[in-house]
Amino acid sequence: MSSLERIKGDAPALGSTSLELDKQLLSECLLMLPKIVSVHSALDAVLHNWDVVSSDGVVLDDMKTAYLSKCPEVVLGGWRELPGLARSHRETGVAEIERARRFCPAVRKLEVVFAEKQALSAVLDYNHLTSLSLKYAGEGKCDAVETGLLKTIKKLVHLEQLNLQLFSNIDLREIAENCPKLVDLCLYGCTPLPDHVIDEELLPKNLVSLCMELPIPHFEGTLTFLTLVEVNRETLSDLRLDGDAASRAFLDTCCMKLFPRLRRLTLNTSSSIRELGILPKNLHDAVKRMPALKFLVTDSYDLRLFFEYYVPSVLISWSVCTVCMVERSRQQLGDG
């Protein structure tokens, strides 16, 4: 154990919510294992324990060389995507975010699951982040304008990764202007400003990884999100699109425009080609315009069969664990 370097931590439980490391065990590991360099597990409970006993001089001496004093990554709260549309979460608050900044001054990567919109103000004090993940666990969506998300983004000029989940009124122009180093952008469950300008020159560029779903079809922001895919098609290596509308829109675009570096494509849909409104010829054209594609993730049987037959070099996987899906369905039937 003394040579342990990484703790992966929490994991989804089979057909249930999640499995989390015991906070006391994790706390002792962080103090006693000198070679720990990476912990991907929620630390808010551990930080609370350390805060309670921080008046103990021995503990403070230990903390000088502990992992937290030099850790590059902090996860606060829990967020689990379960089979189907289910989601399990455990939010954190302002006190936990401020406590993490005090105990972890070297953090570069921050993930926060929050329900209180005031929590965003506490993120402002993290000056050197290169990766920020904000996941809203409250009712509806978090308004990016009302909560001052823009103020936070403006201060984090070194961001390379930005993950926003369940936000409304996202201003892509401000993200592009204030995050020049951004290469990885996730906008899951987000919608842009209603009057968003679609000028491609104002959108984030040179993205290597992009994850998003489209707003409802009649919402004019749909065009903005489609443009975001198109302006980054020459640099994208990893693209994840959720829902039928996004999958259909991408295949319609890809059959006409080249995506030369795209290696991993996720189309989170279970619909057939007919339901998506895609012509077989367009699929053949799309494949030709993704020459670097190596991995496809989708639940569409039609798309899976097409790639298995016509592009056998592409590795195919499901968007969710099939064992978990079956187990969760069995439990739901049992509950009924």
Beta bridge pairs of residue 7? 39
Two tokens, residue 31: 């103090």
The answer to whether 283 and 314 have CB atoms below 8 angstroms apart is no
Distance of CA 127 to the CA centre of its chain: 21
The pLDDT of residue 158 is 93
Two tokens, residue 18: 């999640």
C-alpha 301/C-alpha 264 separation (Å) is 18
The pLDDT of residue 143 is 93
Residues in the chain: 336
The answer to whether 118 and 142 have CB atoms below 8 angstroms apart is no
The pLDDT of residue 134 is 95
The answer to whether 164 and 186 have CB atoms below 8 angstroms apart is yes
Cβ atoms < 10 Å from Cβ of 229: 23
Alpha-carbon torsion, ordered 98, 171, 191, 234, to 10 deg = -110
The pLDDT of residue 199 is 75
Beta bridge pairs of residue 298? 267
The pLDDT of residue 323 is 57
The answer to whether 164 and 123 have CB atoms below 8 angstroms apart is no
The pLDDT of residue 322 is 61
Question: How far is residue 287 from each of residues 27, 129, 296, measured CA to CA in Å?
Answer: 49, 37, 11
Residues of the chain with pLDDT under 50: 12-17, 64-65, 83, 218, 333, 336
The pLDDT of residue 151 is 85
The answer to whether 159 and 182 have CB atoms below 8 angstroms apart is yes
Cβ atoms < 10 Å from Cβ of 186: 18
Beta bridge pairs of residue 11? 19
The pLDDT of residue 32 is 67
C-alpha 285/C-alpha 280 separation (Å) is 9
C-alpha 293/C-alpha 311 separation (Å) is 10
* CA angle (324, 328, 330) in 5-degree steps: 120
The pLDDT of residue 17 is 47
The answer to whether 188 and 159 have CB atoms below 8 angstroms apart is no
The pairing of beta strand 167-168 with beta strand 142-143: parallel
pTM recorded for the entire structure: 0.84
The pLDDT of residue 92 is 84
The pairing of beta strand 73-76 with beta strand 131-136: unpaired
